[in-house]
């Protein structure tokens, strides 16, 4: 299979057609919602890390890990023709899965595009700088080129310039750590003229600069981003402290009303708690660790601190990465611990953002990051949080000598809906018209499937309404909702769930 890597920028006509039709009609997505068993941290007897007892999995093979979860290797240096960064996903804060989970983007330029279901290599894509997937379209990415922001079509390899920032020599997308609001409206950019910097919030929907803040060349800024809801813009400075160029600063989306919300800026991500509030989730600091809290959550609206991961011994989580890219599953953050052999566990887990000390354990990543920064696992969940992608050298000496290790995906075994159930669900639930122009969406059930309720969610996962399904046909009146993408979750008689995206124009 070594010939695959020479298929640079190519894409077969059949694949284009499939991806495009999925985009147009938003086909059914079966979401079994399978997650590792939830446990309280105080019930776990943590032990020192042990190297894996079995060798690294073969390319595209699946094994069962120590927690009973499935681990699949999705890249290989011989197949991809490189041991560089293109073997791996970009970062813990960069979502590798597109909006409907049908495609996966790895790192680099060009980037490998994989099939979201089989994980097979499809083609190389010449993505723009710092490109991230759109949240509302499975075929688009947003990124920068020179002093412009562009939208990139993954099916045609074409770019559309959305705005040219002519007063700057270069535009950066959050210093490669930014994310757009979940409705794809707001994006945080940095205008650069040499070392002179200006923060910019750009409204893509209206081609409008919402606000700017000139910060010059002082300080050491780490990243700039907008919050998931699009309510806030956030600046993280590398130095800890409370001065104007230290700690975490939060602004209204128009870059007014600066607030200082925390002195400490460890590895972190912006996410959404169970109440739908924008939050900053980070590793612990000098204030939380003395009380044996090793993670924290800070609410952006008022700086309210919620300590997380309380463990009463010296065995905490001290380093690694945090990801809140589970945008369809608010209320959780995903942690990849990679600090130390003596007290660190090299573990990947999801933690509930409510202070309950509840986690879901995905497994050990088995990557020795002393082989180089590129070997940091940087775990990142898919959009519903049922899977995690990570890089790992698997404690294999031959892989440690490479620049980057291969990528893996870990997930709990699927059980809620088997293949037969998925076939029935796909063919027997019809939602039309989609997109809907007037907000009226019709539901029709065929065959033996029984739906008890329909939940309407926004793209932050918040429940807007719940309706009973007492017959095989029903009309939903969603005309009172703003235009955009919504999720319809069908709760079946067998306690399964089927989710479909619907567009209101």
| Amino acid 237: pLDDT | 97
| Amino acid 207: pLDDT | 98
Please report how many Cα atoms fall inside a 13 Å half-sphere around the Cα of residue 330, on the Cβ side.
21
| pLDDT greater at residue 414 or residue 102 | 102
- For the cut 60, the answer to whether the pLDDT of residue 6 exceeds it is no
Burial 238-258 (b: 16+ CB within 10 A, else e): eeeeeeebbbbbbbebebeee
Give the closest residue to 410 by CA, choosing from 353, 368, 366, 352. Answer: 366
| Amino acid 341: pLDDT | 55
- The arithmetic mean of pLDDT across residues 322-333, rounded, is 96
| Amino acid 432: pLDDT | 85
- The arithmetic mean of pLDDT across residues 147-162, rounded, is 96
What six digits make up the tokens of 295? 């993670």
- The arithmetic mean of pLDDT across residues 480-495, rounded, is 81
The tokens 């079966």 sit on which residue? 30
- The arithmetic mean of pLDDT across residues 74-87, rounded, is 96
- pLDDT digits 0-9 by tens, 158-177: 999 999 999 999 999 999 99
Rounded Cα gap, residues 15 and 37, in angstroms:
36
Give the chain's domains with CATH numbers: 419-504 (2.60.40.3080)
Burial 412-451 (b: 16+ CB within 10 A, else e): beeeebeeebbebbeebbebeebebeeeebebebeeebeb
Rounded Cα gap, residues 292 and 295, in angstroms:
9
Task: Please give the full DSSP string across 135-177, using - where no structure is assigned.
Answer: SS-TTEEEEEETTEEEEEETTTTEEEEEEE-TTSSEEESGGGT
- pLDDT digits 0-9 by tens, 186-220: 999 999 999 999 999 999 999 999 999 999 998 99
- The arithmetic mean of pLDDT across residues 76-86, rounded, is 95
341: left (phi over 0), alpha (psi -120 to 50) or beta: alpha
| Amino acid 19: pLDDT | 38
- For the cut 70, the answer to whether the pLDDT of residue 477 exceeds it is yes
- What's the pLDDT band for 418 if we cut at 50, 70, 90? very low
- What's the pLDDT band for 429 if we cut at 50, 70, 90? confident
| pLDDT greater at residue 343 or residue 226 | 226
| Amino acid 449: pLDDT | 79
- For the cut 70, the answer to whether the pLDDT of residue 33 exceeds it is no
| pLDDT greater at residue 19 or residue 373 | 373
- The arithmetic mean of pLDDT across residues 391-413, rounded, is 95
| Amino acid 427: pLDDT | 56
Give the closest residue to 271 by CA, choosing from 53, 461, 81, 498. Answer: 461
- For the cut 50, the answer to whether the pLDDT of residue 361 exceeds it is yes
- What's the pLDDT band for 490 if we cut at 50, 70, 90? confident
Rounded Cα gap, residues 314 and 333, in angstroms:
22
- pLDDT digits 0-9 by tens, 432-443: 888 888 999 999
- What's the pLDDT band for 316 if we cut at 50, 70, 90? confident
> What global pTM score does this model have?
0.79
- For the cut 80, the answer to whether the pLDDT of residue 339 exceeds it is no
What six digits make up the tokens of 40? 């309280």
């Amino acid at each position: 299979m070594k010939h695959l890597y020479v298929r640079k920028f190519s894409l077969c006509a059949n694949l284009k057609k499939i991806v495009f039709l999925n985009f147009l009609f938003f086909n059914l997505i079966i979401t079994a919602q399978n997650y590792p068993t939830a446990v309280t941290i105080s019930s776990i007897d943590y032990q020192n890390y042990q190297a894996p007892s079995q060798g690294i999995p073969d390319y595209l093979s699946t094994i069962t890990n120590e927690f009973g979860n499935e681990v699949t290797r999705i890249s290989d240096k011989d197949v991809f023709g490189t041991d560089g960064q293109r073997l791996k996903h970009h970062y813990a804060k960069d979502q590798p899965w597109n909006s409907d989970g049908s495609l996966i983007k790895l790192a680099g330029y060009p980037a490998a595009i994989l099939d979201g279901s089989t994980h097979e290599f499809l083609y190389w894509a010449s993505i723009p700088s710092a490109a991230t997937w759109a949240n509302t379209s499975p075929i688009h990415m947003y990124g920068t080129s020179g002093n412009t922001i562009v939208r990139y079509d993954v099916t045609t390899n074409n770019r559309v310039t959305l705005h040219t920032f002519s007063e700057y020599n270069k535009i950066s997308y959050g210093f490669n750590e930014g994310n757009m609001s979940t409705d794809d409206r707001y994006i945080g950019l940095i205008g650069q003229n040499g070392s002179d910097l200006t923060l910019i919030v750009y409204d893509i929907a209206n081609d409008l600069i919402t606000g700017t803040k000139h910060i010059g060349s002082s300080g050491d800024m780490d990243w700039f981003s907008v919050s998931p809801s699009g309510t806030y813009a956030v600046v993280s400075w590398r130095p800890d402290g409370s001065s104007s160029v230290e700690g975490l600063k939060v602004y209204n989306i128009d870059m007014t009303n600066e607030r200082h919300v925390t002195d400490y800026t460890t590895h972190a991500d912006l996410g959404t708690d169970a109440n739908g509030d924008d939050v900053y989730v980070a590793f612990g600091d000098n204030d939380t660790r003395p009380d044996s809290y090793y993670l924290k959550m800070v609410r952006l609206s008022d700086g309210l601190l919620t300590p997380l991961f309380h463990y009463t011994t010296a065995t905490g989580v001290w380093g690694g990465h945090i990801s809140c890219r589970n945008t369809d599953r608010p209320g959780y953050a995903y942690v990849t611990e990679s600090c130390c052999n003596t007290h660190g566990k090299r573990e990947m887990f999801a933690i509930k953002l409510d202070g309950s000390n509840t986690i879901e354990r995905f497994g050990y990543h088995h990557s020795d990051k002393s082989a180089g920064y590129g070997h940091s696992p940087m775990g990142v969940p898919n959009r519903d949080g049922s899977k995690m992608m990570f890089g790992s050298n698997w404690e294999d000496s031959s892989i440690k000598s490479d620049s980057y290790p291969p990528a893996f995906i870990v997930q709990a075994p699927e059980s809620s809906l088997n293949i037969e159930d998925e076939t029935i669900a796909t063919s027997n639930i019809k939602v039309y018209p989609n997109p809907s122009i007037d907000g009226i969406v019709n539901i029709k059930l065929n065959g033996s499937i029984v739906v008890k309720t329909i939940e309407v969610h926004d793209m932050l996962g918040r429940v807007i309404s719940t309706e009973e399904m007492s017959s095989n046909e029903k009309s939903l009146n969603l005309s009172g909702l703003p235009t955009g993408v919504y999720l319809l979750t069908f709760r079946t008689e067998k306690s399964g769930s089927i989710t479909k995206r619907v567009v209101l124009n």
